[in-house]
Amino acid sequence: MHHSRPTNSARLAWLWRIVATLLLAAAPTFGFAQQKFTDWGWPLPYQQISPQSVQWLKSQGWWPLKIAYQAPWSGQNTINIVMDRMGLLKKRGLETKFQAFASGPAINEVIVSGRFQAGSGGNFPFTSLIDKRIPVKAIAIESPNLLHALVVPNDSPLKSFKDLKGSNPPAAIGLVTGSSAEFYVQMAAEVNGVKIGKDIILKNMSPGDQMAMPKGLAAVASWDPTPTMIVSERKTGRIIDSIYPYNMYEGQFYVREELIQHVPDVVQALSDAFVEATLWTRLHPKQAAQLMSENPQLRNYSKALLLQQIDAYNNLYKPTYVYPNGAFWGAANETIFKWLYQNKRIEHALTAKDFAAAVDPQFMDKTFEKLGWARPAQPPFIPANWSGAPDKIPYPAYETPQNLKQAQAFPQPGDLTKPWVFDGKHYAP
């Protein structure tokens, strides 16, 4: 009996069938096989900035690129310190110099003068830059819903903000003038019927001085880590009011507009490194706290406190909180703009549209694209059935570091557009 041998083409077809079957079996993980990730979920290889961009920065005297951040501002300080100490910009070919400042107004000075090219600003200082027409654009959101609190000495008779009404003589409150803490006090006073200049007077005071709870003050108003330090570590005061009903606080990581016009790949590197630092901190909170404790301005803070602040302001919300949603945050800032203009603290009657115009989401869009993250329609702390609106205060409850008992899970259905790996776990959209 004669058997015909299979032809070459038949053999090839048979081989291809086997390969196709194997590929099909591996399909769920095949996307992962092509894309490499760091342990903390950043897709490799790192995108490098171009030699032309390096040349342009050098021609401006902007090499290394200078980045201003605030040491005593939780969440934001972690990201900047991790970007710096882990060399996340160096890995992208960018030389940088990070410098810590005590407050937003101090950063504004070096940004306005052009000595620094990127910075971090809270809602009030960032508004001042928009008002002065300084050419900056926000590319990421930092520490949303950072606790700002009114802290009174333990033996104070005050139990709520309303209790300040009718203080005689007026109650003195220590805060940083021109900061988000001042704005919080202004809004809380308005909602609670407390008159500034009559019931309370505001005294300009650095976060370091506030920490000592000086005699003669009825209270201090500050942002974390200062209130938590006073209450939990020093145990010299207690919180009687917080920012959450009156203001959705957000910080901005921003760049001078010249960078966007002339070296967009440098801005992309900043956006990518910002999110990579966010992810690294999620995987390594203890190491992040260690890096922070090595910062001279943070050496008075215990590692336990720094770790608690990282849990609250870096790792509590889904990492998509960094997305610069100009429309949402513009609406949330509109009350600030109105108040500042009415009180002659800014020259222009700014609106939500002005804020949105000072945000450039194109870089974060590309960062999210690289990661395979879906752009969030609204920040992750807004509950699905929330009855409030970002431009109407006081707000109904939303998810804050005060009421969230555990970190939000990520990724959840709808969070991914393609496969992603974090801490050795594979996630599919």
Q: Could you tell me the residue range of the domain that residue 155 belongs to?
A: 148-242
pLDDT for 16 equals 55
Q: Are residues 412 and 279 in the same domain?
A: yes
Domain assignment present for 38: no
Residues of the chain predicted below pLDDT 50: 3-4, 19-32
Q: Are residues 345 and 196 in the same domain?
A: no
Question: Does an H or E element contain 204, and which?
Answer: strand 200-204
pLDDT for 112 equals 96
Domain assignment present for 355: yes
pTM above 0.85, yes or no: yes
Domain end residue (candidates: 193, 211, 242) = 242
pLDDT for 22 equals 45
Q: Are 166 and 176 in contact (CB under 8 A)?
A: no
Tokens of residue 32, six digits: 């992962």
Q: Are residues 358 and 289 in the same domain?
A: yes
Domain assignment present for 35: no
pLDDT for 340 equals 87
pLDDT for 115 equals 96
pLDDT for 13 equals 55
CA 111 to chain centre: 19
Q: Are residues 66 and 115 in the same domain?
A: yes
Instruction: Catalogue the E-assigned strands of 231-318.
Output: 237-242, 251-256
What CA–CA distance (Å, rounded) separates 420 from 414? 13
pLDDT for 31 equals 46
pLDDT for 336 equals 84
Domain assignment present for 92: yes
Q: Are residues 292 and 419 in the same domain?
A: yes
Q: Are residues 280 and 414 in the same domain?
A: yes
Instruction: Catalogue the E-assigned strands of 96-199.
Output: 96-101, 118-121, 136-142, 148-153, 171-175
Amino acid at position 293, single letter: S
CA 206 to chain centre: 22
Domain assignment present for 27: no
Report the largest interatomic distance among the alpha carbons of the chain, rounded to a whole angstrom.
Answer: 116
β-sheet bridge partners, residue 173: 202, 219
Domain assignment present for 95: yes
Phi, psi of 13 (to 5 degrees): -60, -40
- DSSP code of residue 343: T
Domain assignment present for 24: no
Tokens of residue 98, six digits: 């990070």
Cis peptide, bond prior to residue 6, ω within 30 of zero: no
Is 235 exposed, middle or buried, given 0-12, 13-18 or 19+ CB atoms closer than 10 A? exposed
Helix and strand element counts for the chain (H, E): 15, 14
Q: Are residues 214 and 257 in the same domain?
A: no
pLDDT for 23 equals 44
Q: Are residues 286 and 416 in the same domain?
A: yes
Q: Strand 136-142 and strand 200-204: pairing?
A: unpaired
Q: Strand 251-256 and strand 237-242: pairing?
A: unpaired
User: Over the stretch 133-147, which tens digit does the pLDDT of each residue have?
Assistant: 999 999 999 999 999
User: Over the stretch 46-67, which tens digit does the pLDDT of each residue have?
Assistant: 999 999 999 999 999 999 999 9
Give me the CATH number covering residue 223.
3.40.190.10
Q: Are residues 48 and 182 in the same domain?
A: no
What CA–CA distance (Å, rounded) separates 28 from 44? 20
Q: Are residues 374 and 275 in the same domain?
A: yes
Residue closest to 88 by CA, chosen among 122, 40, 129: 40
Amino acid at position 172, single letter: A
Q: Are 411 and 371 in contact (CB under 8 A)?
A: no
Residue closest to 250 by CA, chosen among 160, 183, 345, 203: 183
Q: Are residues 129 and 270 in the same domain?
A: yes
β-sheet bridge partners, residue 142: 251
Domain assignment present for 9: no
Domain end residue (candidates: 199, 226, 242) = 242
Is 28 exposed, middle or buried, given 0-12, 13-18 or 19+ CB atoms closer than 10 A? exposed
Spell out the residues 6+ positions from residue 123 whose beta carbon is closer than 8 angstroms to its own. 180, 183, 247, 249, 250, 251, 252, 333, 336
pLDDT for 428 equals 97
pLDDT for 21 equals 44
Number of domains in the chain: 2
Q: Are 238 and 151 in contact (CB under 8 A)?
A: yes
- DSSP code of residue 416: B
pLDDT for 17 equals 56
Domain end residue (candidates: 224, 242, 260) = 242
pLDDT for 19 equals 43
pLDDT for 289 equals 98
CA 125 to chain centre: 15
Tokens of residue 237, six digits: 């005061």
β-sheet bridge partners, residue 37: 43
Phi, psi of 3 (to 5 degrees): -100, 125
Tokens of residue 270, six digits: 């900043």
Q: Are residues 230 and 268 in the same domain?
A: no
